[in-house]
Structure 1
Amino acid sequence: MKPFSEYMNEWLYGPQGYYARFKAIGKEGDFYTAVSTSRFFGATIAHHLVETVKEARLSPHTWLVEIGAHQGYLLGDMIEWIAQEAPELLETMRFGIVERFEALREVQKEHFKTRFGDAVTLHHFVHPAEVGAKEAFVVANEIFDAFPCDLVYKGKTALVDEKNHRIRFEGHDEQALAIARKYGQEKGEVARGYETFAAAMARLAKKLYFVSFDYGEKEARTDFSIRIYKGHEVYPLFEEGLDLASLFGQSDITYDVNFSHVMDAFEAAGFETAGYKTQLRALTEFGLPDLLEQLAKLGNQSLYLRELNKVKILIDPQIMGERFKMVAFQKGLG
């Protein structure tokens, strides 16, 4: 029997884990993300970065770093927008991806080579602290829901029998239970590793702005949200008759983020919470309407309508707009 967090870690990050090998995202994969929905997601964040540089909160020599980049689409979309809005920054900025898996690093290198040729140099790091920059703008999409979690229920934590993948609430992990008590949880998921990650992020750069998008709420849930995505179908972990053995490592497993836990971890590591908003509000404030207006002025009506329909998925309150949240942290920006 092992703690559920160890079981989930192997499911996602073990030698044959789901994220250890390249998996398609979008129509051909198991789920959609904001990145796979529209390039305007990355373009809008890039516009926010350009504004941050114009305001002199970060200099033109800042690093742009993505964490959990998958194929590298988000970072690529951001670089493409920077090339349009502020091409001079491509001469001064540096670009990097934090990626622990060699197989994914190779996929990212190939994507950038195909997309940019020799025009953009991509740097890779295994750990955030390896960057060691003077200043950085860091972006991540849907990473906090991919941290292994423990499951708590009435003062007990979940253990998993590796032979039959059965889950029993017979454990007593005091660290997990202490976190659960802090956020008033008797039943639900307790993420493990936020504190370690925040401490590593604090070493990424002396001056740092970090923005991330994920699904969840500011308060902990009072029920289990943990679920499995396979072929765009959603399976609650405790669904009767679910064959965990066949899904192990072959599907994504995730849960709703408790953003209060994320904020507490980063503030304890020396960050200031710079913002917490719905994806709808964040993208709007970052300048998405202005970007769409620029596209409309190009005069290609069919292109505009096609991209507008994609963007609606990002901001529709019934789809991604309200369910997904943006959280931002800063250190040394004043």
Structure 2
Amino acid sequence: MSSYHPSEALLAQLPQPDSVEIQHSQKLVDLVVAEIEKQGGTISFHDYMNLLLYAPTLGYYSGGLAKIGNDGDFVTAPEISPLFGRTLANQCRQLFDQGCPRRILEFGAGSGKLCEQIMHKPGKPDSYLILELSADLRQRQQQYLKQVLTPEVFDRVSWLDSLPDKFNGIVLANEVLDAMPVNLVKKNKDWFELGVGFDGDRFVWNYLPDASEAVSSAENLEKKFGPYDEGYTTEINLNYLPWFKALGDCTDQVVALLIDYGYECAEYYHPSRQQGTLLCHYRHRVHSDPIILPGLQDITASVDFDGVADAAEGAGFDVVGLVSQGRFLLENGLLDEAEFNGRSDNTLAQLDVAQQIKTLSLPDEMGEKFKVIALKKNLDINLPAFSRV
């Protein structure tokens, strides 16, 4: 396979990293190159993405650079509007009222704003656990939440760096699944798995020499949804099942609400989606080249919600349903929250709240692009937002 050379035109369109970022990136490059040499010249894209995002102290999420918010690379719903977390808190309160244990476990709490929004609402949980792998983000969350929560409420929040031995309650994961490392496959007469090598001063694309589980998955997808044209490239996420099995092993009574952007399987792997869904986010610019700016940009892949559902069921969870974020928020009182929290004689403030509602719920904004999948285990509960689909 011919080497891939980063687009000078693309790099010219993006903000230039400063000297500190360049030094940080070079340390990560050295680590990845050492792993490439260790594995004989090529590593899977999965391993490459995993290092770029999660290498201790150097990866995108584990390093010390700002990531979320206006000064970072992207924003999530809790940063866009406090209405998101307050409305989600309504759903949590309904579940607690139905007998769900009064605890929340949030995966990857980002800025900490979702926790803040939930813990400011009546009916808050007795404890709020945050599983955060990044020591830097954990410190930022602790500093922020200590400022915005009362001491009594802050004492209910605690941090973990791995799954607890046992947890019962509500699991929340907002934009977590899209950050899982994925394998990349490409059709070139036969199917091949794409890997990453290093050529002098840059990362390059290579084919992995051996057949793999990702290749087998691609062959099965083509039988179901193909045929695919030459050059068809897509992602295979092999992490869903082990992730849900690990969660299932430590839970007995649980409801999980997973919020992310993605598609059902037939749409995800439609023959017209020639280049998959891989995206990179750098200072609020979006592009699709994951082998530039190593460690300085977020790398994501859309979620295959059918794959998530199959993996969850394989790990012992029941799938309650899948709905759009817009429907989920509206069913759980988004407009009531806006009316209660947006009362103001200030016209600009009223317009701002109206824009927040549109961004969170309208189909051409986040409302349809983002989905909520609900899972449960050993709990007899009702989630009206899903039962009315």
Per-residue CA deviation, residues 59-107 of structure 1 (Å, 9 max, x unaligned), is 4xx21111011221111111112xxx33xx55xx111101122222222
From 216, 222, 245, the equivalent of 1:178 is: 216
Look up the match of 1:127: 162
Matches within 5 A, 1:1-334: 1-15=42-56, 16-22=58-64, 23-54=66-97, 56-59=98-101, 62-81=102-121, 85-86=122-123, 89=124, 93-120=126-153, 121=155, 122-128=157-163, 130=164, 132-133=166-167, 135-154=168-187, 155-163=191-199, 164-184=202-222, 187-219=233-265, 220-221=268-269, 222-223=273-274, 224-237=276-289, 244-245=291-292, 247-295=293-341, 298-300=343-345, 302=347, 303-334=349-380
Measure, in 2, the Cα distance between the counterparts of 1:70 and 1:182: 36
Query: Matched residue of 1:192: which SS?
Result: coil
Structure 2 CA distance for partners of 1:281 and 1:181, relative to 1, 3 Å: farther
Measure, in 1, the Cα distance between the counterparts of 2:89 and 2:333: 10
Measure, in 2, the Cα distance between the counterparts of 1:8 and 1:171: 19
Per-residue CA deviation, residues 129-170 of structure 1 (Å, 9 max, x unaligned), is x1512x211111111110001111121000110343111234
Contact 1:295/1:304 (8 A) holds in 2: no
Measure, in 1, the Cα distance between the counterparts of 2:330 and 2:219: 36
Look up the match of 1:241: none
Per-residue CA deviation, residues 5-36 of structure 1 (Å, 9 max, x unaligned), is 00000110113111003523122211121121
Query: Matched residue of 2:351: which SS?
Result: helix
Contact 2:130/2:160 (8 A) holds in 1: yes
Per-residue CA deviation, residues 169-223 of structure 1 (Å, 9 max, x unaligned), is 3444521123334444763001131111101111343110111111110113343
Contact 1:147/1:192 (8 A) holds in 2: no
Moved more, 287-296 or 192-201: 287-296
Contact 1:125/1:131 (8 A) holds in 2: no
Measure, in 1, the Cα distance between the counterparts of 2:74 and 2:307: 25
For 1:21, give the aligned amino acid: G
**Gaps spanning 5+ residues in structure 1: where?**
239-243
Measure, in 2, the Cα distance between the counterparts of 1:46 and 1:268: 28
Measure, in 1, the Cα distance between the counterparts of 2:215 and 2:364: 34
Moved more, 285-294 or 141-150: 285-294
Contact 2:44/2:208 (8 A) holds in 1: no
Measure, in 2, the Cα distance between the counterparts of 1:132 and 1:225: 35
Percent identity between matched residues is 29
Query: Matched residue of 1:229: which SS?
Result: strand
Query: Matched residue of 2:152: which SS?
Result: coil
Q: Give me the CA root mean square deviation.
A: 2.0
Structure 2 CA distance for partners of 1:299 and 1:100, relative to 1, 3 Å: closer
Contact 1:141/1:213 (8 A) holds in 2: yes
TM-score by length of 2: 0.76
Deviation (angstroms), 1:252 = 0.6
**Gaps spanning 5+ residues in structure 2: where?**
1-41, 381-389
TM-score by length of 1: 0.88
